Amino acid sequence: MRLSILDAGHRRRARLFLAVTSAVSRVPSPDIVKMLLYRPEFLTRPLLELAAPAMRGDSYWTPGEREYLAMSTARVHECPFCVDTHAELTRIAAHGEIDPDHPASARPELLAVQGFLEQVSRSADPDPARVRAVPSAAVAEALHVNLVWNIVNRLANAFGFELLDGQLKTGTRALHRSGYRFPGFLLGENRGDLRTSVFNQPAHTSPALRRSAATGEGLAEPWREYAALVRDASQRITTDDVRRLTAAGCTEDEIFEITVAAAVGAALAAFDAGRAALREE
């Protein structure tokens, strides 16, 4: 983890939760959990309100197929933490209906929407003809899966998530059992949907700066190059990139907020482009 606040900056109730769950599982809390429990009202509550129904709600796609799509998105972003996690979750949730190591095991509709989502994730012009044979509601559901992981993959890369021994098995099983939900007492107050929470609420950085980080428009250094990496090539971010920001006087909370804003901005832009392409078909 590249930000110390994500390791040790949690509020008391989150610290207690992390300590108890680590003691019970005998495995340190995964980086994704530690990030989600840091200032959860900023990102986590609205993100989980998208993730839980997208990954485990009623859908044309089985839970295993949705995990397979999440794994595919992680491969686009070259995020090993998320690739390994969702490959394991595919094995757990699919009950043998799809093998994450053998794409030919997937039904044709899943492969069609997978190709469409890869275009969306790469910010290429998505071709709606690829999913012409897939029900429109099913494509919309897949776009919501893609939105969630286009955010999380960028954050995992930027913050340097790593899987420690034992975390893959315990973490994926706990996530599957919980259905992508956290206890409400850990999530803080509701401050609006994802766009409102990340871009408009008061925080360490100004709403105007966060909105600029989302698109790059009008963004000056020391943020411009870093935010562009988060949006366009998060797999290339290194600890040195974060150190340059702290050396320039940026606090870790500011880095956290700008990273989240850039990741959410890029993911929402891709999501909107995917929906627009479907409307034009």
Query: Residue 199 — left, alpha, or beta (φ > 0 → left; ψ -120 to 50 → alpha)?
Result: alpha
Let me know whether 217 and 269 are in one domain.
yes
Out of 118, 152, 186, pick the residue that ends a domain.
186
Number of folded domains that form the chain = 2
Let me know whether 168 and 227 are in one domain.
no
Q: Tell me the per-residue pLDDT of 103-118, one tens digit each, with 9 for 90 and over.
A: 889 999 999 999 999 9
Q: What is the pLDDT of residue 281?
A: 63
Let me know whether 221 and 167 are in one domain.
no
Confidence (pTM): 0.96
Let me know whether 45 and 173 are in one domain.
yes
| SS3 assignment for 114-174 | HHHHHHHHCCCCCCHHHHCCCCHHHHHHHHHHHHHHHHHHHHHHHHCCCCCCCHHHHHHHH
Let me know whether 79 and 169 are in one domain.
yes
Let me know whether 150 and 223 are in one domain.
no
Confidence of residue 190 (pLDDT cuts 50, 70, 90): confident
Token pair, residue 72, equals 């595919």
Let me know whether 113 and 218 are in one domain.
no
Q: Tell me the per-residue pLDDT of 115-143, one tens digit each, with 9 for 90 and over.
A: 999 999 998 889 999 999 999 999 999 99
Let me know whether 151 and 206 are in one domain.
no
CATH number at residue 152: 1.20.1290.10
Range of the domain at 224: 194-280
Token pair, residue 275, equals 């929906």
Let me know whether 55 and 142 are in one domain.
yes
